[in-house]
Amino acid sequence: MLESHDVRYFLTSLDPGKVAFGDLQKLVRDHWQVENCLHFVKDRWWDEDRHYLKHPSVSNPFIELTNAALSLLRLFQRPGESLREIADDFRYSPRKILQFLGFNKN
């Protein structure tokens, strides 16, 4: 069996005498969880990184709307249900989200 090893270097302002190695590992993993759970989804679904509205010379309502949409999807997410399932459900039945938000009483 071929074994491989990776070396990664991280910078931190934390005092090494006051933080355990396991705590540092958790901090690094938590950082990448934000990248994987938020930015990956936004770029994969909405192609945000290449969108012309993200250009610095333009205000960022597009980014604010995608953040709000993702937050709403996570708000309605049930255990075991993917964000894609919820998004597809709302896309095919837009009145559902209006009812959840209280805009449509029917």
Question: Residue 14: pLDDT above 60?
Answer: yes
In a domain, 8, yes or no: no
Any domain includes 14: no
Q: Quote the CA–CA distance of 73 and 8 in Å, as a whole number.
A: 34
Helix 83-92 and helix 94-101: axis angle, to 10°?
100
For residue 6, being part of any structural domain is answered with no
Identify the CA nearest to 62 among candidates 81, 42, 80.
42
Q: pLDDT: is 73 or 44 the higher one?
A: 73
Identify whether 41 is part of a domain. Answer: yes
In a domain, 32, yes or no: yes
Question: Is the residue at 11 inside a domain?
Answer: no
- The percent of residues in the chain predicted with pLDDT above 70, rounded, is 79
Between 49 and 67, the higher pLDDT residue: 67
Q: How far is CA 67 from CA 1, 24, 70, in A?
A: 44, 28, 5
Domain assignment present for residue 81? The answer is: yes
Report the phi/psi class of residue 47: left, alpha or beta, with left for phi > 0 and alpha for psi in -120 to 50.
left
pLDDT grade for 42, boundaries at 50, 70 and 90: confident
pTM of the model: 0.52
Q: Is residue 2 part of a domain?
A: no
User: In which band, very low, low, confident or very high, does the pLDDT at 53 lie, cut at 50, 70 and 90?
Assistant: low
**Where is pLDDT greater, at 47 or 66?**
66
pLDDT, tens only, 68-99: 888 888 888 888 888 888 888 888 888 888 88
Domain limits for position 40: 21-101
The percent of residues in the chain predicted with pLDDT above 90, rounded, is 1
Domain count, the chain: 1
